Structure 1
Amino acid sequence: MGCDGGTIPKRHELVKGPKKVEKVDKDAELVAQWNYCTLSQEILRRPIVACELGRLYNKDAVIEFLLDKSAEKALGKAASHIKSIKNVTELKLSDNPAWEGDKGNTKGDKHDDLQRARFICPVVGLEMNGRHRFCFLRGCGCVFSERALKEIKTEVCHTCGTAFQDDDVIVLNGTKEDVEELQTRMEERRLRARLEKKTKKPKGVECASKAGATEECPGPSKVKPGRAEESGSDPKEKPASAPKSAATNGGAPGKAGKAAPGAVKRSIADSEESEAYKSLFTTHSSAKRSKEESAHWVTHTSYCF
């Protein structure tokens, strides 16, 4: 059987097989990841930030996304894990001295070297073009190649000297396995921070709780004057206080029962008070003198000669 013009069709022209999987150009993918913002798809320009999953963004694009979280944005899923500006870290990148940018190819008659990158590793000198694995420190934001961190093992940053741990090292534009591991670490870190925030109460709440506790606690009970043993007074002061109360009551035996039980009765003469104070009471020796023995009081004034 033939077609128009006497042509004979072949089998692959009549029978449709499975569709071929479209392969992504690796060079184009690397250029898109390392030279363009993941959120706005614009060329990366300083200040450049990175999230906890290792993706690169322009800082102004992240701020606009946080201010306007509309559902119409198709690229909002790429930054759905960014809840605040604290979830991103501003990167400290080292410029590549061999980078010319678009100055050398203004006419379009020059080959673009895709191996050439804008930034390099400050320790080893590798270019950050996606051919080598790069990472940054979450604490200070300095960017290094993974080779530099493996060859020169240290616990402080090579550039600024900030101490870091293994949990602070985040791979930039890593593989699928790297992203899953970083996401697990991010969720654990946020859960830990949430629990610490709950345990730490603000100062205002602590003051309010302390004030409520003081109002609920009963105050010190008033000590009754007749019960000296129930009060927390010193037992050495009990004998001295007993004679004073007895003396002020006129020494009446009926009122002595109001004193604390067990208190020792002593006369005012045996107390340690001054002689002027003792002379006020009838038990003093001066009160027992006769009128003849007592002296006459004479008042001398300046007008008497």
Structure 2
Amino acid sequence: MGCDGGTIPKRHELVKGPKKVEKADKNAELAAKWKYCALSQEKLRRPIVSCDLGRLFNKDAIIEYLLDKTTERPNTETVTHIRGIKDIKELNLTDNPEWEGERRNAKGDRYEDINCGMFICPVVGLEMNGKHRFCYLQTCGCVFSERALKEVKTEICHKCGDPFKHEDIVFLNDTKEEVEKLRERMEAKRAKAKTKKSKKNKEVETASTPADEAGPSGTSGSSEGAKSSTASGTKRSVQTMEEKSEVFKSLFTTHSSAKRTKDQTSNWVTHTPYHF
């Protein structure tokens, strides 16, 4: 059995097996996380923000989502944990001088390095392209590589000098296992804040309630009225105090020298005075 020209077909040419599943290029998929918004899938452009899970977004895309959550958008599962503008942090990124961006010649006759990152670590100079772990500080938003934090161990930000703690570090675009840890930490932090807020509200309510409320017999209210009447009854005028001198008494408006007759009272004076 042969075809034209005496060729003999092979088995894989006659028997059709299952189609091979096309696999996405891991390098391209990894680079896309660091160059495109996780919500709108548009190119990242300043201002760039991140959430407690370390995902990168364009700030305007997040604001549009928060203003109208009813609109059907793709990739909304990446932002379901964002309740408001307080749940995101604007990042303080360092530009990569090697990144040409829109300035490069896009004729298609040159090699494009997909591993070239738009931003770099300001301490060790590593490119933020997914091949190295990067993190940001929730206190100030500055972004660094993990290597920088390991080599220069400090509790002060390398870029702006603000103090931070270990729990303020959030890694960007980390593995699924690390994202689940970040999610647990986020939920624990929110539960703690909610408990603290409810406790504070209870303290305010307790402080606003009078400690000595009147009972059914009204004894407390009557005692307060007696105290106030006694206090008002003990008030004396300065002019009736015999131990005070006349000079001291003349300092007050109740003294006879401060009282004027109708003839001594001056007329009103305005910008166009009229005398009557």
Q: TM-score, normalised by structure 2?
A: 0.71
Residue equivalent to 1:51: 51
When structure 1 is superposed on structure 2, of 81-90 and 112-121 the one drifting more is 112-121
Residue equivalent to 2:220: 219
Alignment of 1:124-139 (within 5 A): 124-139=124-139
> What is the CA-CA distance between 1:24 and the residue it aligns to?
1.8
Residue equivalent to 2:201: 201
Alignment of 1:287-302 (within 5 A): none
Please tell me whether the aligned partners of residues 104 and 110 of structure 1 are also in contact (alpha carbons under 8 angstroms): no
Residue equivalent to 2:92: 92
Distance 1:196 1:64 in 2: 30
1:141 partnered with 2:141: yes
> What is the CA-CA distance between 1:171 and the residue it aligns to?
0.6
State the aligned residue count: 221
Residue equivalent to 2:269: none
Residue equivalent to 2:258: none
> What is the CA-CA distance between 1:102 and the residue it aligns to?
2.9
Please tell me whether the aligned partners of residues 214 and 221 of structure 2 are also in contact (alpha carbons under 8 angstroms): no
Q: Return closer, same or farther for 1:106/1:200 CA change in 2, 3 Å cut-off.
A: same
> What is the CA-CA distance between 1:221 and the residue it aligns to?
7.1
Q: Return closer, same or farther for 1:96/1:11 CA change in 2, 3 Å cut-off.
A: same
> What is the CA-CA distance between 1:15 and the residue it aligns to?
5.4
Q: Return closer, same or farther for 1:4/1:188 CA change in 2, 3 Å cut-off.
A: farther
Please tell me whether the aligned partners of residues 51 and 89 of structure 1 are also in contact (alpha carbons under 8 angstroms): yes
Q: Return closer, same or farther for 1:4/1:109 CA change in 2, 3 Å cut-off.
A: closer
Which secondary structure does the structure 2 equivalent of 1:201 belong to? helix
Please tell me whether the aligned partners of residues 117 and 127 of structure 1 are also in contact (alpha carbons under 8 angstroms): yes
Amino acid at match of 1:149: L
Which secondary structure does the structure 1 equivalent of 2:210 belong to? helix
Q: Deviations over 1:201-260 (max 9, x none)?
A: 17873454237x5344842876xxxxxxxxxxxxxxxxxxxxxxxxxxxxxxxxxxxxxx
Residue equivalent to 2:178: 178
Q: Deviations over 1:249-290 (max 9, x none)?
A: xxxxxxxxxxxxxxxxxxxxxxxxxxxxxxxxxxxxxxxxxx
Distance 1:18 1:195 in 2: 56
Unaligned runs of at least 5 residues, structure 1: 223-305
Distance 2:14 2:191 in 1: 59
Max radius of gyration: which structure? 1
Q: TM-score, normalised by structure 1?
A: 0.65
> What is the CA-CA distance between 1:107 and the residue it aligns to?
2.2
Distance 1:215 1:162 in 2: 53
Unaligned runs of at least 5 residues, structure 2: 224-276
Residue equivalent to 2:105: 105
Q: Return closer, same or farther for 1:124/1:109 CA change in 2, 3 Å cut-off.
A: same
> What is the CA-CA distance between 1:167 and the residue it aligns to?
1.3
Distance 1:4 1:81 in 2: 64
Give RMSD over aligned pairs: 2.7
> What is the CA-CA distance between 1:127 and the residue it aligns to?
0.9
| Relative contact order, higher structure (CA 8 A, sep 6+) | 2
Q: Deviations over 1:142-175 (max 9, x none)?
A: 0000000011111121112222222111110001
Residue equivalent to 2:192: 192
Distance 1:221 1:62 in 2: 60
Q: Return closer, same or farther for 1:60/1:71 CA change in 2, 3 Å cut-off.
A: closer
Distance 1:24 1:101 in 2: 24
When structure 1 is superposed on structure 2, of 151-160 and 12-21 the one drifting more is 12-21
Distance 1:84 1:4 in 2: 70
> What is the CA-CA distance between 1:194 and the residue it aligns to?
0.7
Amino acid at match of 2:35: N
Which secondary structure does the structure 1 equivalent of 2:101 belong to? coil
